[in-house]
Amino acid sequence: MTALILLCTQRIEIPTFNAEFVPEQDGGPCFERAVAKLTIEHGDRCGHDGLCLVDTETGEAIEPWNEEQWFCRNHLWQYEQAVLASGTDAGRAAETLALL
């Protein structure tokens, strides 16, 4: 039986020189092997002001749902830097990080 290899679900961001006007460029999907899983519980605590509880096509309210994201080593590091930079962000209360 072959082991299931999970891949990072993030996009590669290419920093640009003028960060104010062009924060980053999309370098396409990242295909690195995932080392961590982030679960975001969209609902009261996720800090998205209810935007994620609206169907973007119909505009109707939807039930709270869980989003799963996978991080490779690089993207895990970026995520941790973002958490450190943001301090105690209330939105993080709905996020659960699990190392593989």
Can you give the binding site for Zn ion, defined by CB under 5 A? 8, 10, 30, 32, 42, 46, 48, 52, 72, 75
CB of 19 to Zn ion, least distance (A): 21
Closer to Zn ion by CB, 10 or 36: give it: 10
59 vs 53: CA distance, rounded Å:
9
Helices (H), the chain: 73-86
Closer to Zn ion by CB, 20 or 49: give it: 49
> How many other C-beta atoms lie within 10 A of the C-beta of residue 70?
20
Q: What is the CA radius of gyration of the chain?
A: 16
CB of 1 to Zn ion, least distance (A): 26
